[in-house]
């Protein structure tokens, strides 16, 4: 399609491309660090890197054709590839699995908010590529026994409808909570799984941060991930389901920073946003009344962490401002 015949970018398309540029340039810096001495599963990391590099180049071209300034995002100044490993090699696979999982959801959403054909095609392709990285990294972790599958249950033989009102109960101290249904188990399992990765990521960030406020923020994020994993894990245990755990995928004892505080704060902000969305989804699809309440309580903690992170980023000049709409109130002042 000729660029001369393309309509201008809509505000949603501009916003989503801008956000994708930020996220993709961040991923590139992580992958450059991981690839410095990568031996295991190198082809997977190289594939993710080349695809991310291509996406960044495509967004740059779109912005240039529109006469828009190219965002800064994250550059090679935000990574130091020559320092000791901050995480073991299996955590690196777990990390790209989590990030490709986030990308799959984001890019699918962005595609439904796009109107120009080339932008729709860009996000459809980006979604498929993220799903492919997720599939490959998941297979690696399953084959090595690093991640645990959700529990198996007996297959249903009959269709049942809910008739008793206590099916949606759970808040009373005096009544026994019903066992979890499979929808609730899957959502809780997913939250525990992602927070196990998030906790190790925050441990590493806290070990290497230079800025004191950022370091304390990562410690708070580490403790919050542990809290979420513990409290949701207890809900699974109450139904005699063992929560997911892993013997690998850990932070090392390195205290030498491979990443800038700016990059680590952005990554933490991205995970907080993802956590808020996951908690909202978990609460919305849970029919036992105590579960939405628990998700809401945890979401409040996640939001508080995200708000604190935003303040730290602004104070240190790390928060790049998204494209703004015209301020009509300011423009009409005489």
Which fold, 166-315? Ferritin (1.20.1260)
- CA of 110: how far to CAs of 60, 136, 315, in Å? 17, 23, 30
Distance CA 223, CA 231 (A): 12
Q: What angle do CA 19, 21, 22 make, to 5 degrees?
A: 65
Band the pLDDT of 1: cuts 50, 70, 90: very low
Tokens of 91: 């955590």
Cα 9 to Cα 323: distance, rounded to the nearest angstrom:
12
pLDDT > 70? residue 324 = yes
Distance CA 96, CA 249 (A): 12
CA–CA separation, 146 and 153 (whole Å): 22
Residue ranges covered by each domain of the chain:
9-143, 166-315
Residues 22-49 as b/e (b if ≥16 CB within 10 A, e otherwise) read bbbbbbbbbbbbbeeebeebeebbeebb
For 148-202, write each residue's pLDDT tens digit: 888 898 999 999 898 877 777 655 544 567 889 999 999 999 999 999 999 999 9
Contact 228, 298 (CB under 8 A): yes
Give the Cα separation of 66 and 137 in Å (integer): 36
Name the β-bridge partners of 87. Answer: 251
With bands split at pLDDT 50, 70 and 90, how would you rate the model's confidence at 289?
Answer: confident
Render pLDDT for 205-251 as a digit per residue (tens, 0 to 9).
999 999 999 999 999 999 999 999 999 999 999 989 988 887 778 99
**Which of 250, 205, 196 lies closest to 225 in space, CA to CA?**
196
Name the average pLDDT for the chain.
Answer: 92
| 130-133: long-range pairs with CB below 8 Å, 24+ | 130/100, 130/101, 130/103, 130/104, 131/100, 131/104, 133/44, 133/47, 133/48, 133/51, 133/96, 133/97, 133/100, 133/103
Residue 18: CA count within 13 A, CB half-sphere: 18
- Give the architecture-level CATH label for domain 9-143: Up-down Bundle (1.20)
Condensed to tens digits (0 to 9), the pLDDT of residues 45-89 reads 999 999 999 999 999 999 999 999 999 999 999 999 999 999 999
């Amino acid at each position: 399609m000729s660029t001369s015949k393309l309509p201008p970018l809509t505000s949603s398309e501009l916003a989503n491309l801008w956000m994708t540029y930020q996220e993709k340039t961040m991923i590139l810096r992580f992958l450059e660090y991981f690839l410095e001495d990568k031996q295991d599963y190198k082809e997977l990391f190289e594939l993710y890197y080349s695809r991310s590099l291509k996406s960044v180049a495509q967004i740059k071209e779109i912005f240039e054709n529109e006469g828009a300034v190219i965002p800064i995002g994250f550059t090679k100044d935000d990574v130091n590839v020559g320092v000791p490993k901050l995480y073991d090699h299996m955590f690196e696979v777990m990390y790209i699995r989590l990030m490709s999982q986030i990308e799959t959801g984001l890019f699918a959403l962005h595609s439904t908010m796009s109107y120009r054909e080339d932008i729709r095609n860009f996000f459809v392709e980006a979604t498929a590529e993220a799903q492919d990285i997720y599939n490959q990294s998941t297979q690696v972790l399953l084959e090595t026994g690093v991640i645990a599958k959700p529990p198996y249950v007996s297959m249903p033989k009959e269709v049942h409808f809910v008739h008793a009102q206590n099916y949606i109960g759970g808040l009373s101290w005096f009544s026994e909570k019903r066992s979890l249904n499979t929808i609730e188990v899957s959502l809780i399992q997913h939250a525990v799984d992602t927070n196990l990765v998030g906790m190790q990521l925050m441990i590493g960030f806290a070990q290497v941060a230079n800025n004191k406020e950022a370091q304390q923020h990562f410690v708070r994020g580490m403790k919050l991930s542990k809290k979420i994993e513990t409290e949701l894990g207890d809900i699974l245990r109450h139904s005699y389901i063992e929560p997911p755990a892993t013997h690998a995928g850990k932070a090392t004892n390195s205290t030498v920073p491979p990443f800038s505080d700016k990059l680590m704060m952005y990554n933490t902000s991205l995970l907080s946003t993802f956590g808020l969305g996951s908690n909202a989804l978990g609460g919305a699809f849970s029919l036992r009344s105590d579960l939405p309440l628990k998700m809401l309580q945890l979401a409040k903690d996640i939001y508080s962490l995200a708000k604190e992170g935003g303040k730290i980023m602004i104070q240190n000049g790390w928060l790049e401002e998204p494209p703004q709409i015209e301020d009509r109130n300011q423009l009409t002042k005489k």
